[in-house]
Amino acid sequence: MQQLNFRVPKKMLDRIDEISSKNGLSRSEIIRSSLVFYLNFLESLDDFVSLRNLKFFEKEIKIDRIRDTSILNLKDFYILITSTSSGAIGQKERDIVKVDETMLGKIMTRCILTKIISLGVKPVVLISNFSVEYNPTGIKIFDGILQEGEKVGVTEIIKGHTEENFKTDQTSFSIIGIGVAKKKELKFKLSKHGDFVFMIGEPKVGYEVIQSDLVDIKKIKLMRELFYVHDMIPVGNEGIKEHISEFTGFLGHKIEITDNLDININKSAGPSTTLLITIDKRYKTEFTSLSNKHGIKIRYIGKII
Percent of the chain with pLDDT over 70: 90
- Rounded to 5°, the CA angle 213-214-215 comes to 120
pLDDT band at 222 (very low <50, low <70, confident <90, very high): very high
pLDDT at 251: 67
pLDDT at 209: 87
127 pLDDT more than 80: yes
What pLDDT digit, counting tens, does each position of 44-93 carry? Answer: 555 555 555 555 545 567 888 888 899 988 878 899 999 999 999 999 99
Residue 95 CB coordination number (10 Å):
18
Task: Characterise 270 by phi-psi region: left (phi > 0), alpha (psi -120 to 50), beta (else).
Answer: left
Q: How many CA atoms lie within 13 A of 231 on its CB side?
A: 22
Q: pTM higher than 0.85 for the full model? A: no
pLDDT (average), residues 222-233: 95
CA distances from 221 to 119, 185, 300 (A): 10, 14, 20
Residue 53 CB coordination number (10 Å):
8
Q: Which domains does the chain have, with CATH numbers?
A: 10-185 (3.30.1330.10), 196-304 (3.90.650.10)
21 pLDDT more than 80: no
Highest averaged pLDDT of the listed ranges 21-25, 99-103, 181-185, 202-206? 99-103
What pLDDT digit, counting tens, does each position of 272-287 carry? Answer: 999 999 999 999 999 9
DSSP H or E run through 279:
strand 274-279
Look at residue 97 and give its three-state secondary structure.
Answer: strand
Helices (H) and strands (E) in the chain, counts: 9, 13
- CB contact at 8 A, 257 and 247: no
- CB contact at 8 A, 251 and 299: no
What pLDDT digit, counting tens, does each position of 101-121 carry? Answer: 999 999 999 999 999 999 999
